[in-house]
C-alpha cells in the first residue's frame, strides 16, 4: 500500500489497513471447523496469531523449538479462553530431521489439516550453519518450511478433498525481500562466509519465502488442488526476532516510529490471509496491511521461483542422503 495509507492506517480495498488488528480482521470468522499448524506460534506475532485463531474456534498446533515456552504460552491463552484448543509439538526448522519428526508426530494425531502458517524465523544472525550444514537464515526461514510444507501437502490435499473446505498455506515473508544479494538468490554461494551479509542473507531468505509460495501456488493450480498459497509482510514490529540487532532496530524505530506496528496489528495480515472468506480462491499473491501489495522483480520472476524449487528439492535430498 502507499506510504500515506501505512502511516494513516486508512483501509485499503479489503476494508482493512495497517492499523487493523488480528481480532478485527477475523471478527466475522467462525473457525471452529478448522485445524491449523503454525510454526513459531509461541512468541511475537505468532503467539498473537495463535491466540486470535484459537479465539475464533480453530484447533491450533504450535510447532516450536522451545516446547517449554510454547506450553507456557498455551497456558496464558487458556487463562483467558478456557475453550481454546491448542497443542504443542517440538519443531526445529534448522534441522530437517526435526522437521520430519514433527510431520510424523502430527500425522500420528490423525487430525485434518486445513491451514499451514509458516511463521517462524530468525533474523540478522551472525554467520553460522544449521545442523545440516546450511547457512542458518536460509535453512530456518526457507528450507525448513519448504520441507515441512512438502511433508504436509498430501494431508492438506486429503483434507480439502474430503471436506470440500479450501486449504490455505501462508508464508511469512517481509518487505526486506527487496534487500537481497545482487543475483537475488546466491545458489552457488549459500554457505559463503567471506561475502556473508546478515541483512542481505535475511532478505534472501524472505525472497525465498515469496518464490516458494508462488511456485507452489502454480503447481497446485495446475494440479487442480483446492489449496491456496500466499505470502505476507506483517509490517515492522519490535519482537524477539530482532534480538541480534536490538539496538540498531531501536535506533531505526526512533526515526521511523510512524511506520511501526504493535503485535496485534502485526498479526492481522497473517490472520486475514489464513481465514477471511474474501480470500477464497486467491493464490500466488503477496499481501501487506491486509491488502495485496507489490513485490520486487525478483519475487515475481517465475523462472527464479522454479529454479529455487529445484534447488531446494535437491538440497533436501542431498542432506537426507548424507
Which sequence positions are flagged as catalytic?
196
C-alpha to C-alpha distance for 140 and 120, rounded to whole angstroms: 8
What's the number of CA atoms in the CB half-sphere (13 Å) around residue 233? Answer: 27
C-alpha to C-alpha distance for 255 and 133, rounded to whole angstroms: 38
- The order of strands in the sheet holding 85-90 is 85-90, 59-64, 35-39, 115-118, 167-172, 227-233, 286-288, 291-292
Which phi and psi (to 5°) does residue 142 adopt?
Answer: -110, -60
Cα distances (angstroms) measured from residue 206 to each of 61, 133, 176, 313:
23, 20, 7, 18
Cell of 111: 487430525
Packed helices 198-223 and 302-320: angle between N→C axes, nearest 10 degrees: 100
Question: Are 213 and 230 spatial neighbours (Cβ–Cβ below 8 Å)?
Answer: yes
Contacts of 164 (CB under 8 A, 6+ apart): 226
What does 110-121 look like in DSSP terms, one character per residue? T----EEEE---
Q: Degrees (nearest 5) of the Cα angle 35, 39, 43?
A: 110
Amino acid at each position: 500500500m502507499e506510504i500515506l495509507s501505512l502511516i494513516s492506517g486508512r483501509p485499503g480495498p479489503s476494508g482493512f489497513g495497517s492499523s487493523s488488528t488480528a481480532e478485527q480482521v477475523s471478527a466475522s470468522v467462525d473457525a471452529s471447523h478448522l485445524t491449523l499448524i503454525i510454526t513459531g506460534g509461541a512468541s511475537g506475532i505468532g503467539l498473537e496469531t495463535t491466540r486470535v485463531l484459537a479465539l475464533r474456534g480453530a484447533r491450533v498446533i504450535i510447532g516450536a523449538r522451545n516446547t517449554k515456552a510454547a506450553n507456557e504460552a498455551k497456558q496464558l491463552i487458556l487463562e483467558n479462553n478456557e475453550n481454546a484448543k491448542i497443542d504443542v509439538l517440538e519443531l526445529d526448522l534448522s534441522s530437517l530431521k526435526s522437521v520430519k519428526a514433527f510431520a510424523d508426530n502430527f500425522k500420528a494425531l490423525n487430525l485434518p489439516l486445513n491451514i499451514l502458517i509458516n511463521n517462524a524465523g530468525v533474523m540478522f544472525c551472525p554467520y553460522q550453519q544449521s545442523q545440516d550444514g546450511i547457512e542458518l537464515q536460509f535453512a530456518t526461514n526457507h528450507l525448513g518450511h519448504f520441507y515441512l510444507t512438502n511433508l504436509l501437502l498430501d494431508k492438506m490435499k486429503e483434507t480439502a478433498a474430503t471436506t470440500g473446505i479450501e486449504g490455505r498455506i501462508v508464508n511469512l515473508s517481509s518487505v526486506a525481500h527487496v534487500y537481497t544479494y545482487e543475483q537475488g538468490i546466491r545458489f552457488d554461494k549459500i554457505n559463503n562466509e567471506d561475502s556473508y551479509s546478515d541483512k542481505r542473507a535475511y532478505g534472501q531468505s524472505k525472497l525465498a519465502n515469496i518464490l516458494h509460495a508462488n511456485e507452489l501456488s502454480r503447481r497446485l493450480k495446475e494440479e487442480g488442488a483446492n489449496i491456496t498459497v500466499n505470502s505476507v509482510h506483517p509490517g515492522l514490529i519490535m519482537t524477539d526476532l530482532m534480538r541480534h540487532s536490538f539496538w540498531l532496530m531501536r535506533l531505526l524505530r526512533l526515526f521511523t516510529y510512524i511506520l511501526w506496528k504493535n503485535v496485534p496489528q502485526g498479526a492481522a495480515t497473517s490472520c486475514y490471509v489464513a481465514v477471511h472468506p474474501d480470500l477464497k480462491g486467491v493464490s500466488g499473491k503477496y499481501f501487506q496491511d491486509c491488502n495485496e501489495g507489490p513485490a520486487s522483480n525478483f519475487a515475481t520472476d517465475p523462472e527464479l521461483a522454479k529454479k529455487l524449487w529445484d534447488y531446494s528439492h535437491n538440497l533436501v535430498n542431498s542432506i537426507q542422503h548424507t
